[in-house]
Amino acid sequence: MRSRLLRSIAAAAAVSASVTLCASDARALRRDADSMKQKIDAINRFGLRPSRQGRRTTLSENELNAYLTLELAPMMPAGVIDPSVAIPGPGRVSAHAVVDLDAVRRARPGGSLLDPRALLIGQLPITASGTLRAMNGVGRVELESAAIGGVPIPKVFLQEILSYYSKTPERPSGISLDDPFELPARIREIQIDRGQAIVVQ
């Protein structure tokens, strides 16, 4: 009887601890997302009224991912799930998401049965890593590797997926991995260091 009571108490304590940890994680996620939102607002305000003194804003990896999860994920295209980024070291970035590859394949009809893309079906995790260089108001990503479900894929596969999900009426071909892009809000430089990015205006 006593051992059964002890097991029940232990189980209740474990459940209580799990609920507490989940609530704590949710609060931390919300706090980081709110911090990121405030920093983005400040960057945009400074971009409208810059000063000679300049401004530096540090964005942590946790803040970036919390903002992606709580603010941007609901606005992602249908078929893109659980996006996240990592900043493993100076100049280096990686991205992860689960993507609906059936939708991408349907948008490219006429492929051969021998086409490797015909084997990519369902929702699979995609990862990509490379370097980000952002100086003099212009950014450029240099892809180093990409994989679907842990299997390496060539750059052209990743480009097709990116093109499909980034199409807009203004850009019917979507975004190109090789295209440089203008930094917004008068950002002059983004310094990438381990676990953080420093925005220089």
Residue 136 has a pLDDT of 97
Digit-coded pLDDT (tens) for 4-49: 433 443 333 344 334 443 456 889 999 999 999 999 999 999 999 8
Which is more confident, 175 or 51?
175
Confidence of residue 117 (pLDDT cuts 50, 70, 90): low
With a CB cutoff of 8 Å and minimum separation 6, the contacts of 16 are: none
Instruction: Give CA–CA dist 161/158, Å, rounded.
Output: 5
DSSP string, the chain: -HHHHHHHHHHHHHHHHHHHHHHHHHHHHHHHHHHHHHHHHHHHHHHHS--TT--EEEEEHHHHHHHIIIIIGGGSPTTEEEEEEEEEETTEEEEEEEEEHHHHHHTSTT--TTSGGGG--SEEEEEEEEEEEEETTEEEEEEEEEEETTEE--HHHHHHHHHHHT--SS-TT---TT--EE-STT--EEEEETTEEEEE-
Tell me the C-alpha to C-alpha distance, in Å, between residue 168 and each of 101, 162, 165: 19, 12, 9
Rg (CA), the chain: 21
Range in 98-102, 108-112, 118-122, 190-194 with the lowest mean pLDDT: 108-112
Domain boundaries, the chain: 2-200
